[in-house]
Chain A
């Protein structure tokens, strides 16, 4: 009876470990899949390190805002999760005349490598001075060299 009980426990454990191993192997395979196809040709940032890529993205967001004479309230790179070091997300909050803000967003989205805004809002200023405020998350892909 003891041997049967131990067999049962052993087989259950074997089943569990094999499932975990299959999952880990699948994860390892997905790791080796290229990231460039997510952003298309020339769409991913190819800097040597994530920090350099994040710095370049921040600089592009900042320079475009200065060029359009917008008020930069916040341009900050958000910390990366362990499972998504290739995704660089920047929180962007700028305000200014409506046409300038819209052109700023268009400049950022038109440039290469790609930057795409997700979870964003464009809202008229409460002060009633004709300005608008844009707040959003700019997503980019860092694919390494």
Chain B
């Protein structure tokens, strides 16, 4: 609570007017203070509180100006409890789901095994393998192509195809150059590469050719 202030106007002996602001509990007390100071007040007017008075009267602590939060005690405890129990929840959940998946897996395997009995079945790898075997060039096609271009004095010692379809052909001929020219006529046989030459007991030259998978 601030002390009231008064604006007092006094007339000096010299004739000049003097204005003073006096803090006093009442107008009479202000008049008495001026008389005691040797002045004769003409008028005394009460003044309202000044800006500084207004500011000085406040409590300027920061906390009064910050927003305040208030959380109910029970939900807060509940949230903390939930967070703390999360690892347990995850552990129980993951183990339960894993057990469920294992059971489903076993059931599916049993059902699949029982359905295969007496029925045709191909796994993916077996299907790929069989598809490869069924789509290769036939033995008769390869033999027909060979016989079609083989020079008259040449003969086939052996033809084979491995599991991957790679060809190996052995041809006995007295003239390997003529054989090479003859094979170049066929687009399939021209892809074969010569692996080596070997002289046989009857004086012919055995030319070994190999080809990529077909």
> Which of chain A's residues have a CB closer than 8 A to the CB of B33?
none
> Which of chain A's residues have a CB closer than 8 A to the CB of B158?
121-124
Query: Does A77 belong to the interface (CB within 8 Å)?
Result: no
Query: Does A13 belong to the interface (CB within 8 Å)?
Result: yes
> Which of chain A's residues have a CB closer than 8 A to the CB of B112?
24, 27-28, 31
> Which of chain A's residues have a CB closer than 8 A to the CB of B91?
3, 6-7, 10
Tell whether, in the assembled complex, residue B138 and residue A109 are in contact, meaning their CB atoms are under 8 Å apart: yes
Q: A14-B101, A17-B101 are in contact. Are A6 and B95 (CB under 8 A)?
A: yes
Query: Does A79 belong to the interface (CB within 8 Å)?
Result: no
| Segment 69-96 of A: residues with Cβ below 8 Å from B | 81-87
Q: How many A-B residue pairs have CB under 8 A?
A: 163
Residues of B within 8 A of A (CB-CB), count: 51
Query: Does B52 belong to the interface (CB within 8 Å)?
Result: no
> Which of chain A's residues have a CB closer than 8 A to the CB of B177?
none
Q: Choose from B105, B163, B165 the contact partner of A17 (Cβ within 8 Å).
A: B105
Tell whether, in the assembled complex, residue B104 and residue A21 are in contact, meaning their CB atoms are under 8 Å apart: yes
Query: Does A143 belong to the interface (CB within 8 Å)?
Result: yes
Q: A27-B123, A39-B134 are in contact. Are A3 and B140 (CB under 8 A)?
A: no
Chain A residues with CB under 8 Å of chain B are 3-4, 6-7, 10-11, 13-14, 16-18, 20-21, 24-25, 27-28, 30-31, 33, 35, 38-39, 43, 49-50, 81-87, 102, 105-106, 109-110, 114, 116-124, 134, 136, 139, 141-144
Known: A27-B112, A106-B140, A121-B159. 9 other contacts (CB 8 A): A7-B94, A27-B124, A84-B123, A85-B116, A86-B122, A87-B122, A87-B129, A106-B144, A122-B159
